[in-house]
Amino acid sequence: MKSIETDYLVIGAGATGMAFADTLLSETDHEIVIVDRRHQPGGHWVDAYPFVELHQPSAYYGVNSLPLGQDRIDLAGINAGFYERAGAAEIQHYYQRVLEETFLPSGRIQYHASSDYLGCEDDHHIIRSNISGGITRVAVRRALVDASVVQSSIPACHTRTCEAEKGVTVVTPNQLVDIANAKGFTVLGGGKTAMAVCFWLMQQGVAPDDICWVRPRESWMTERSYTQPLSLVANMVKMQAASTQFAAEATSVPDYSVRMEAAGMSVRLDRDRDAIINRGATISLPELSALREIENVVRKGHVRAISQSAMIMDEGDVGSNPGRVYVDCTAAGLNSAAAAPIFEDGKISMHFTTMGVAPWSAAVIGFVETLDMTLEEKNRLCPALHRTGDIYGTMNIMRVGMPAEMARRQVSEIAAWSAKARLNPGRAIPDHMDDPEVQSSLGTMMQNYQPALENIERLCAEHSG
Ligand SMILES: Cc1cc2nc3c(=O)[nH]c(=O)nc-3n(C[C@H](O)[C@H](O)[C@H](O)COP(=O)(O)OP(=O)(O)OC[C@H]3O[C@@H](n4cnc5c(N)ncnc54)[C@H](O)[C@@H]3O)c2cc1C
């Protein structure tokens, strides 16, 4: 058994653990040990399906110290006119570079791959290598950092909940790329993975009529032009302004979503159906119109079992044909772990604290950790936001997240650091202050800020009461 000492022990080398460690490495002299049961850094991206892409631009994903991509605006395809979005292979390579070019050469970060964090015994944290079985005892001087709390459930690692008769082909999106001669496809799931799969199938020449889409519920998504940074940031400010205004005016939480839709900022695939889900996905208008070409949408609840001739569903059977390929896209994606305090004595739990964007949230927590403040003050600046994945959760996130964001802006060290942080989605806003549209959006935001908070409080109370 080996014994080591460190300032921080980080569980998880996913996007949040990496962004947190990178911030501490740049801003302090502390030592960090990172442990992850996967064999390389990047978290769920290591097992992602090959055609997956970020929802957001690469320009504000990853870690602060290394750009991801070239901040290029795509000229063709469904992302044309928007900042590039990395796919799985690029993201995996990126995190490997962060490790090899920055973390390990610093001499202050140790990385334990293919190793499980097992818990704490006699004031020592226990790591076990899954390859050698070797145990390492870690004495932690400052904090244990749990960067596994919001880990995503992804198709390759989730256990399918519906039974399939012998001979029925059910694949994950990872396996889909190797399928040949299918007699039609049935895509299970209404989330962003299912959308990516449907779109990919159509790109491979599968006719929309050969796709059956089991989509029990509709989701709200953000139209992608409103998530653009850098030279296109004006639209992001416009959306924040509209969101604040509609939050001030809405008569109910669903009414807020419908107002966002009327302004073109939120979208749903089927405008005639109510949508409650909101998992923070983004979509471009060309992708949305392509997906709307799939008309064979099954809405009978969840699939419980699949036979050669039918799908057995919550609300009745649906006929099918032998030779069809079923693509399981039902993994939850978002982990809606209840939010506990982020900063505790000797422990940091990496819940979301910014309204969306996992790496930025983790970097903010990392920076606040470096400040000489009480736990109470750190938690006031970084409250944990509970992501339930629906519109009521989103409203509650605004209730807790908006005042915290305002409070962080008033701390000069945080404001100065944020202004130069590449993970900050809005870092280019100060460069656009002479743009009349940005000025007008900021004015709308300021004017509606307090009324929005008051109305959000009322809407959330109404929902929970
Ligand atoms: C397809 C897809 C696209 C997405 N796109 C975006 C996007 O564009 N922008 C965005 O902000 N978010 C996006 N997300 C959300 C995503 O969850 C975050 O971006 C981010 O990757 C989450 O990182 P994480 O570190 O919290 O979790 P993970 O990536 O799940 O990493 C957690 C790590 O902890 C390790 N671990 C857990 N327990 C232990 C243990 N006991 N011992 C050792 N290791 C352990 C796991 O092996 C894992 O590698 C997307 C999610 C999906 C599924």
Task: Decide: 284 and 82 in contact? Cβ < 8 Å.
Answer: yes
Mark 25-58 as b/e (b = at least 16 C-beta within 10 Å).
bbbbebbbbbbbbbebbbbbbbbbbebbbbbbbb
Is the domain of 190 the same as that of 81?
no
Which protein residue's CA is at the shortest distance from atom 30 of ligand 1?
151
CATH code of the domain containing 316: 3.50.50.60
Task: Decide: 242 and 265 in contact? Cβ < 8 Å.
Answer: yes
Domain boundary among 371, 391, 411: 391
Is the domain of 18 the same as that of 112?
yes
Task: Decide: 193 and 328 in contact? Cβ < 8 Å.
Answer: no
Residue 420 lies in a domain: no
Question: Ligand 1: distance of its center to the CA of 210 in Å?
Answer: 33
Question: Ligand 1: distance of its center to the CA of 323 in Å?
Answer: 34
**Please, which residues have CB within 8 angstroms of residue 93's CB and are 6 or more apart in sequence?**
none
Question: Ligand 1: distance of its center to the CA of 279 in Å?
Answer: 14
Question: Ligand 1: distance of its center to the CA of 81 in Å?
Answer: 28
pLDDT of residue 40: 98
Could you identify the atom of ligand 1 that is nearest to the CA of residue 36? 44
**Please, which residues have CB within 8 angstroms of residue 460's CB and are 6 or more apart in sequence?**
392, 395, 396, 399
d(CA 365, CA 20): 7
Question: Ligand 1: distance of its center to the CA of 449 in Å?
Answer: 32
Q: What is the pLDDT of residues 120-159, one digit of tens each?
A: 999 999 999 999 999 999 999 999 999 998 766 666 777 7
Could you identify the atom of ligand 1 that is nearest to the CA of residue 359? 11
Of 108, 143, 136, nearest in space to 27 by CA: 108
Name the residue with tokens 């990126």.
94
Q: List alpha helices for 110-221, DSSP H.
A: 173-176, 192-203
Task: Decide: 204 and 252 in contact? Cβ < 8 Å.
Answer: no
Is the domain of 16 the same as that of 135?
yes
Which protein residue's CA is at the shortest distance from atom 29 of ligand 1?
43
Q: What are the pocket residues of ligand 1 if the criterion is a CB atom closer than 6 Å to any ligand atom?
A: 11-17, 35-38, 43-44, 52, 54-56, 61, 116-117, 147-148, 150-152, 154, 333, 357-358
Predicted structure pTM score: 0.96
Is the domain of 52 the same as that of 135?
yes
Determine the structural domain holding residue 320 and report its residue range.
Answer: 155-231+268-328
Of the ranges 17-31, 36-50, 147-161, which one carries the lowest mean pLDDT score?
147-161
Question: Ligand 1: distance of its center to the CA of 451 in Å?
Answer: 35
At 463, the pLDDT band (50, 70, 90 cuts) reads confident
pLDDT of residue 322: 86
Of 139, 130, 135, nearest in space to 1 by CA: 135
How many domains are contained in the chain?
Answer: 2
**How distant is the alpha carbon of residue 66 from its chain centre?**
20
Average per-residue pLDDT in the chain? 95
At 19, the pLDDT band (50, 70, 90 cuts) reads very high
Residue 263 lies in a domain: no
